[in-house]
Chain A
């Protein structure tokens, strides 16, 4: 450091070094940049074009301008397919309902696993198994067999009471019950993320709290929950993303079928997929706004951690 200061050509040397850094930075991500430009950015533009024009298939794809207003395809999606709005609404409400179930459930399991128990690795193995095998075709085969729910749960009194509710609320709730196992199957990664976070809380912290007279309940609210709070956001976003891109959802199948159906075609399918993307984005944004960490609280948490570990505050 001190050597550099004495060097009169200091600035130019650093610049050259910085340039080298830039070059190597780009070298490492070069394949990805090429890929993302073609298969993500260009593809996005293309699919937008498709959804705003009429596609003719003759030895390649020819785009024609639309005749009845630029939103023709989008209007068509909502007017020609009677099922689409319902399926979309069911998906949205279902996702919003499933999310807290998955998060709460995985947090509970993580807490159970984090307590002093034997066979922890066996249980972890069981809870993680669905991450490996839960895929579109497997899930649909299992759902067709009616094993997506534990028999007793699906026909209880609660559902008959709920059936008084309007259809668009009742349907997702009954889906929630009838597909309970499949929903829980989606929580493997989340459990592990919570568990990893919980295991990082030093035991001494709980002991200190106990000495100060805190009950277990208070420890949970004041120590455990603040620790996992950032993970709740992470897990929620992860959950929404996996559910939205997972193979079991009807809309993806609908888009796929529409693509290769003569009466619907590319522009119809792409309009549909953009509507879908919009819905998913709105849900993601809502989740983010609801669960994001307030900055001041974050600071307090950081300080707490620093005090506990007894190391000086690190910047950044």
Chain B
């Protein structure tokens, strides 16, 4: 009798443990959770691996680089690499120029793309399908085909002089970096706003423009945040068109620059800087991986800071822009 009871209790406990480990119909068990977390952590590590590597390398001294035992953790942390990289890239100066080059066209781009997206979403007009088709085509086709003719347009206008002009003109005309994608995001967003809301305002006597500025724009706050952030990132990261517009194809300009360009030319600039800034250095001070990694960290540092401050806005952007449709 007693033995049977004990057996029953044991069975009961076994059942409970089994439920806890493997889960039941209602709840995922421990094993399931463990697998999910393990996978997520492993994948996170894979994702972060290059970043971690970059950070650890950039803090290493020359000796650590050669020492295979200091694979991950530098034996002594040195900021020397950062000093060299800052000198090489003319960092603070380039940073300011880059901010100017990214912020101003971004603002123009957001303003114009929002209007265009609204125009497409709210109104019907003749040839709308044709223009929409062109819009989608412009999104799909690689921009390398049109980069050269566009460069020549600006060259004819004598605007390839290392100033912001080509960037500003393209963004004002809705042809900035990834403008098409911005328009599509706004289109999607304005499409979701109930038409009746805007029509009601128009019936109440608000003109078309007033309805846009006082109703549509405040409602599109989330989309505006998304497009502004991403435009900034895109302008920051673009190199192909920047090289064209600043005239790097032919002569190196001393005017505007971006950190990505500086990073692209890093090795060359280092050689130049190295010969000019110090006559007394020995040949062991030649460029090494640690300096390159420090340069890379510095080039993306502003974006990283922006991302960590505004990560919620970035991560929820896809939800908010309504790309998945409703």
- Which residues on A are within 8 Å of B, measured CB to CB? 20-22, 24-29, 31-36, 38-44, 46-47, 50, 60-61, 109, 112-113, 115-117, 121, 123-133, 135-138, 141-142, 144-145, 147-148, 150, 180-181, 184-185, 189, 192-193, 195-197, 199-200, 210, 230-231, 234, 237, 241, 244-245, 247, 252, 255-256, 259-260, 266, 269-270, 273-274, 276-277, 280-281, 284
Contacts and interface: CB of A to CB of B under 8 A. Distances in A.
A218 B174 CA distance: 47
A106 B73 CA distance: 31
20 contacts: A21-B124, A25-B119, A28-B115, A28-B123, A29-B115, A38-B153, A38-B175, A50-B149, A109-B43, A127-B44, A133-B307, A141-B295, A142-B53, A181-B49, A241-B140, A245-B143, A259-B249, A260-B250, A276-B142, A277-B141
Nearest to A189: B318
Interface string B286-326: 00010011011001100110110001101101110001111
Contact of A132 (B183, B299, B304): B304
B304 A273 contact: no
Given A36-B175, A259-B249, A270 B53 contact: no
A210 B26 CA distance: 9
Contacts of A34: 173
B130 to A, nearest CB: 11
Contacts of A32: 112-113, 116, 173-175, 179, 183
Contact of B146 (A20, A47, A148, A195): A47
Chain A to chain B: the 9 pairs with minimum beta-carbon distance, closest first: A35-B173, A28-B119, A25-B123, A32-B174, A25-B125, A43-B146, A46-B149, A135-B237, A192-B318
B28 interface: yes
A180 B42 CA distance: 14
A233 to B, nearest CB: 12
Interface stretch (B12-20, B33-41, B268-276): B33-41
Contacts of B292: 141, 144-145
B118 interface: yes
Contacts of B206: none
Contacts of A210: 25
Most buried by A among B139, B144, B289, B300: B144
B296 A252 contact: no
Given A39-B175, A60-B156, A137-B263, A266 B148 contact: yes
B53 A280 contact: no
B28 A116 contact: yes
Given A121-B315, A128-B314, A244 B323 contact: no
B44 A40 contact: no
A184 B112 contact: no
A184 B47 contact: yes
B140 A29 contact: no
Nearest to B249: A260
Give the bracket for the number of chain B residues in contact with chain A: 35 or more
Given A32-B112, A128-B314, A129-B51, A39 B141 contact: no
A26 B142 contact: no
A35 B135 CA distance: 11
Contacts of B325: 230
Contacts of B243: 256
Given A123-B44, A137-B299, A200-B324, A31 B116 contact: yes
A234 B120 contact: no
A245 B239 CA distance: 12
A185 B46 CA distance: 9
B264 A137 contact: yes
B295 to A, nearest CB: 8
Contacts of A109: 40, 43
Nearest to B23: A216
Given A35-B175, A117-B37, 15 more contacts: A25-B119, A35-B170, A44-B146, A125-B311, A128-B311, A129-B307, A136-B239, A141-B266, A145-B53, A147-B54, A193-B323, A196-B319, A231-B324, A247-B240, A266-B148
A280 B314 contact: no
A259 B148 CA distance: 8
A130 to B, nearest CB: 7
Interface in B136-162: 138-146, 148-150, 152-153, 156
A171 to B, nearest CB: 22
A185 B324 CA distance: 21
Contacts of A231: 324
A44 B240 contact: no
Given A132-B307, A181-B49, A29 B119 contact: yes
Contacts of B152: 46, 61
Contacts of A259: 148, 249
A189 to B, nearest CB: 7
B7 interface: no
Nearest to B127: A26
A115 B140 CA distance: 34
A127 B243 CA distance: 30
B123 A127 contact: no
Given A127-B47, A137-B239, A31 B172 contact: yes
Given A124-B315, A130-B47, A21 B25 contact: no
B44 A47 contact: no
B293 A270 contact: no
Most buried by B among A47, A241, A244: A47
Nearest to B35: A112
Contacts of B263: 137-138, 141
